[in-house]
Structure 1
Amino acid sequence: MKREALLDAAESVLFEHGTQALTLAAVADRAGVSKGGLLYHFPTKEALVKAMVARVIEEFDGLIASYDDGAPGSYTRAYVEATFEILGGEARAYRRWSAITAAAADPEQAEPLNEAMRRWHGRDPGDDPDPGAAQVVRLAAEGLWEVVSHAPELYDGEQLAALKRRLLALLP
């Protein structure tokens, strides 16, 4: 079994049943592997949570980088594009929610995600033509991600596309 499939199984357990249900046995059962097979990749629950958090950060950083062409204001546009790409994929939309939930019980586990948030939202606005608008747009995208993570049925694809267009239109 591949590491990514085990992380997918852990996210599913968390999303469907909450933090109290996240056990190595439950993840192994969901993934259809022996507990030993899971332990080969993740020797502890903490290692599993750490990997979930790292995957969320790496995925989002990679998406931003793929959209950011370095032009003035492109970081915020890339942030919006990356957010909506994630929101368009149901499994990925709840990834961050699951990682945050799993890490919340342990400040040390949550720190990498906290650091990423500081980096994503604390950027020097010097390259944005309108730093205030850029900040508002990133925060709105962040809030939308949070809402969709908890209630994915609220917005269909057409509504998400309209919201994306509106947010991008707020940028110079």
Structure 2
Amino acid sequence: MRRDALLDAAEALLCEQGTQALTLAAVADRAGVSKGGLLYHFHTKEALIRGLVERLIEEFDALIASFDTGGPGAYTRAFVEANLAVVMDRDQSRLLRRWATVSAAAADPGLLAEIREAMHRWHDRDPADDPDPVAARIARLAAEGLWEVAMHDPGLYDETQLEELRTRLLDLL
């Protein structure tokens, strides 16, 4: 059993049934492995949640990097593109991943600190990186807020509206 498949099972449980459903036994059952198979990768529930947090951060870092073309303002454009890619992803697994992970991590100050550290890294940019630092901050916050709103109601905006928002945010930059 691959580690990612176990994390996928944990996320599915969180998304479908909430944090109270996240037990090692339930994750093992959902993944179709023995509890021992799960414990090989994650010795505790806390280790499993840490794995969710680490994967969330690593995947979003990689997504931003995939859009970063370099040069002035490139990071903020990449950040906006990455957020919109998640929101516009029709299978919605990445959209719900952040909600599931943050919900699971909420009871552990150490894990929340890791999420906050990533948020600082994603949002606290050197003003010299962007031609208009205030517009860049607005675009990053708007993209992040759109993800938050879409997480609660994925059907609120249709594809055309999302593309219009994406275009307008990028035009700000």
TM-score of the two chains, using structure 2 as the length reference: 0.94
TM superposition outliers: structure 1 runs of 4+ over 6 Å: none
RMSD over aligned Cα atoms? 1.1
Partner of 1:134: 136
Deviation for aligned residue 1:30: 1.3
Deviation for aligned residue 1:88: 2.7
User: 1:151 and 2:153 equivalent?
Assistant: yes
Deviation for aligned residue 1:153: 2.1
Distance 1:163 1:170 in 2: 11
Partner of 1:37: 37
Equivalent residues in 2 for 1:42-57 (5 A)?
42-57=42-57
Equivalent residues in 2 for 1:23-172 (5 A)?
23-89=23-89, 90-171=92-173
Distance 1:150 1:32 in 2: 29
Deviation for aligned residue 1:170: 1.4
List gaps (5 residues or longer) in structure 2: none
TM-score of the two chains, using structure 1 as the length reference: 0.95
Distance 1:83 1:31 in 2: 28
Q: Percent of aligned positions with the same letter in both sequences?
A: 65
The letter of the residue matching 1:106 is: D
Aligned length: 171
Distance 2:6 2:158 in 1: 28
Cα distance per residue 1:99-133 (max 9 Å; x no partner): 11111111112111110001111111212111000
List gaps (5 residues or longer) in structure 1: none
